[in-house]
Amino acid sequence: MGAIGILWLRQIRRYLRSRARMVGSLGQPVLFLLAFGFGFGPVFARAGEGDYLAFVAPGIIAMGILFTATFSGIEIIWDRQFGFLRETLVAPVPRLTIVLGRTLGAATVALIQGCIVFAITLIAGFRVRELTLLPVALLFMFLIALLFTAIGTAVGSVLRDMQGFQLIMNFLVLPLFFFSNALFPEAGLPAPLRLVVRLNPLTYGIAGVRGALGAAHGLALLADFAVLGTLALLVLGIAAFLFSRIEV
């Protein structure tokens, strides 16, 4: 097994060993699912928009992925402070290999987290309209995980303390989630807010997951995939560059 595979498995083992982290990271998505899915459901239905749970569930799934993926960058700061990162960087492998292994491992962890949230939405009453498009939804979920893991890696590579990481994440992650199409439809929003939503990369990931789970076909899914995939590769390249400049 190559260095990328070893680092990938290391990230997954970290996640599986931390049961408190596994359970704790589910708290916020479940809270939002119950509060918004069932709290706003009757209002959404009376407005003639249909089943709100069917609308919001993909956004909650993306939420579970988003927070887990982005906060994976904390591990870089943690490893730097305790010397583990130095041991990794002195290994006879390129830093690009290291960042790819860590990023793919953390993205896989975030995807697992998203799948758990997906299972919870099914228990809550959400239904997939066409099972043949489920792999497409999983692909979009992985791209969301890859994009925001890369963002977390980029941020973690330039910061040295966890307090700074928490501050930046609160000003980045929460706005990305709330100013997306996760909790409310884009149609009918004021023009400035609609522009912000369309510039948000998470919007395209949620639209892809929602379209796949809702049995949507055609150019819309391809456009969402193109935008999200391009951004994921671009940010991954930036994260690799910043990680290569780390000094420990």
Q: Please determine, for residue 246, whether its predicted confidence score (pLDDT) is greater than 80.
A: no
Span 27-85, pLDDT tens digits:
788 888 888 877 776 766 665 566 788 889 999 999 999 988 888 877 787 777 766 66
Average pLDDT, the chain: 83
Cβ–Cβ < 8 Å for 11, 109: yes
What amino acid occupies position 151? I
> In 3D, which of 225, 244, 64, 87 has the Cα closest to residue 154?
244
- In percent, the amount of the chain with pLDDT more than 90 equals 35
Q: What is the pLDDT confidence band of residue 22, given thresholds at 50, 70 and 90?
A: low
Residue 12: both structure tokens together: 């997954």
Total count of residues recorded for the chain: 248
Residue 216: both structure tokens together: 């949507």
Span 199-237, pLDDT tens digits:
999 999 999 999 999 866 667 889 999 999 999 999 999
